[in-house]
């Protein structure tokens, strides 16, 4: 597949943008598509026409049933024209005779009633897959796109029938209005049972042929555009084309610089003729005449008689001791590095956890400094003043703060009441604390959302339970 010849811009589009692109391709490739398409549709239409004298309904059904075979023409033309290789009419019709059997049974019998069947047609006709590979390919292509293809097919079918009925009504307006040839509400049932005049069957059949032959290529091209967009997304055609563009630009720049580089290389490289003009003996004499090569220095030193011929050798036991010490030092160094890294990691995790403690949950401030020192006394005072909502808010905030700082519950900013209750139930081992928090959450939700005020006795009991469970003495005992 030569992506360089692609007639469209290879980029990721939404599914409905791809459908719009398919309509644009149908308009641009109008002549290449409609000439072989009309020939094939007309041939199928004429071939089914004799069945009218047996059963008009049967003739319409046969034409409708075998119409997807002609849709292969649109796919053949668009799939080649989009790569700037438009086929002529004769080549297209010849290709239809060669490719009609690819996926024929599945197209006409398994997927015939599927609104998005044209979206799967390239798998059979262009890729030629079958069996397990075909199933896997279809499954991949259907992801993110199958629903759009089916919805588009349903919309297109409705538009086809709107145009067909519009054409029937238009033909009735411009025809002679005889009583036995009018098309009214009862005509549809009469058509099914073969009770209409023959002229209305002919009119309906011809209207269906005209509408289908006019607009069906738009459906096929749009489905192929959906298929192309899915291929671009899966195989990264846009990325490949970008890399090819960069490579071409690099080659063009290299083509400009390379002659200059070669010219400089030739210019500054010494030639063999220049080397042959110099006498080697003369060059050697010039080098020896340099002071660096004419200096002479005499040195003497003292050494022990026993070391004159033999180099000093260390004892074997000393070498073994050095080796063992080196291994121990190296092992200790590695162990120290591992311990240091683990300690640093644990310290960073603790610091990170401390830094990530939430300050607000559901918009309520749960910082320690925002909670009164005596929650019980403050809550009872609010209840006596008739500020029940404020009392419950204080109890709920103080409990959340206590769960985080004293019970190490991992609560997050975005948690709801149900999320907080679920986390406390899972992470707190004390049954009394969990039961208290469950009852407090239930009463808080009724008050905050249902505006149902709890009884005063229930509220006072919750305050007393909070004092019993969360005072410093009880926390230290636990």
pLDDT in tens, 288-327: 777 666 666 666 666 555 544 455 555 677 777 888 888 8
Mean local confidence (pLDDT), 178-199: 53
Say whether pLDDT at 355 is over 60.
no
* Chain segment 210-237, per-residue pLDDT in tens: 999 999 999 999 999 999 999 888 887 7
pLDDT of residue 30: 93
Q: Distance (Å, rounded) from C-alpha 281 to C-alpha 254?
A: 45
Query: Tokens 């291929």 appear where?
Result: 231
pLDDT tens string 405-446 = 888 888 888 888 888 988 899 888 888 898 999 999 988 888
Residues 293, 355: Cα–Cα separation, whole Å: 73
Which secondary-structure segment (H or E) carries 361? strand 360-361
The model's confidence at residue 1, banded by pLDDT at 50, 70 and 90, is low
How far is 305 from 72, CA to CA, in rounded Å?
A: 103
Retrieve residue 346's tokens: 């644990």
What pTM was estimated for this model as a whole? 0.51
Q: How confident is the model at residue 197 (pLDDT cuts 50, 70, 90)?
A: low
Q: Work out the end-to-end distance of the chain between its first and last CA atoms, rounded to an integer number of angstroms.
A: 73
Give all strands (DSSP E) within 353-467, no chain letters: 360-361, 364-365
pLDDT attached to residue 267: 63
Q: Is the dihedral of CA 401, 402, 403, 409 positive or negative?
A: positive
Predicted confidence (pLDDT) per residue in 91-115, tens digit:
999 988 888 888 888 888 888 888 8
Pair 194, 57: CB distance under 8 Å? yes
190 vs 424, more confident: 424
């Amino acid at each position: 597949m030569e992506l360089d010849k692609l007639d469209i811009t290879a980029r990721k589009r939404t599914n409905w943008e791809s459908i719009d692109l398919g309509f644009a391709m149908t308009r641009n490739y109008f002549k290449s598509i409609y000439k072989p398409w009309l020939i094939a549709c007309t041939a199928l239409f004429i071939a089914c026409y004799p069945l009218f004298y047996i059963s008009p309904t049967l003739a319409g059904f046969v034409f409708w049933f075998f119409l997807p075979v002609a849709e292969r023409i649109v796919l053949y033309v668009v799939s080649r024209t989009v790569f700037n290789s438009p086929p002529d009419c004769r080549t297209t019709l010849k290709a239809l005779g060669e490719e009609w059997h690819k996926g024929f049974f599945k197209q006409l019998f398994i997927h015939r009633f599927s609104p998005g069947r044209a979206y799967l047609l390239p798998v059979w006709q262009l890729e030629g897959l079958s069996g397990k590979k075909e199933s896997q390919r279809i499954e991949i292509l259907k992801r993110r796109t199958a629903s759009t293809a089916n919805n588009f097919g349903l919309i297109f079918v409705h538009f086809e029938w709107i145009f067909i009925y519009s054409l029937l009504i238009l033909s009735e307006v411009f025809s002679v209005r005889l009583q036995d040839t009018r098309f009214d509400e009862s005509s549809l049932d009469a058509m099914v049972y073969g009770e209409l005049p023959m002229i209305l069957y002919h009119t309906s059949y011809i209207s269906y042929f005209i509408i289908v032959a006019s607009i069906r290529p738009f459906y096929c091209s749009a489905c192929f555009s959906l298929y192309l967009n899915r291929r671009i997304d899966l195989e990264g055609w846009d990325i490949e084309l970008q890399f090819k563009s960069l490579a071409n630009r690099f080659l063009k720049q290299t083509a400009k610089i390379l002659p200059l580089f070669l010219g400089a290389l030739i210019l500054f490289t010494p030639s063999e003729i220049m080397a042959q003009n110099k006498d080697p003996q003369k060059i050697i004499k010039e080098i020896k005449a340099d002071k660096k090569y004419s200096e002479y220095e005499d040195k003497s030193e003292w050494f022990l008689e026993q070391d004159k011929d033999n180099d000093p050798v260390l004892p074997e036991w000393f070498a073994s001791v050095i080796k063992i010490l080196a291994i121990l030092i190296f092992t200790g160094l590695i162990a120290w590095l591992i311990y240091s890294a683990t300690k640093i990691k644990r310290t960073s995790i603790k610091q990170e956890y401390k830094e990530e403690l939430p300050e607000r949950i559901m918009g309520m401030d749960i910082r320690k400094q925002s909670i009164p020192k005596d929650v019980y006394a403050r809550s009872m005072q609010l209840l006596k003043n008739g500020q029940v909502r404020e009392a419950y808010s204080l109890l709920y905030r103080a409990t959340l703060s206590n769960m985080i700082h004293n019970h190490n519950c991992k609560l997050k900013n975005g948690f709801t009441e149900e999320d907080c209750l679920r986390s406390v139930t899972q992470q707190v081992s004390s049954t009394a604390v969990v039961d208290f928090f469950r009852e407090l959450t239930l009463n808080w939700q009724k008050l905050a959302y249902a505006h149902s005020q709890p009884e005063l006795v229930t509220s006072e009991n919750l305050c007393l339970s909070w004092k019993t469970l969360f005072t410093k003495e009880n926390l230290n005992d636990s």
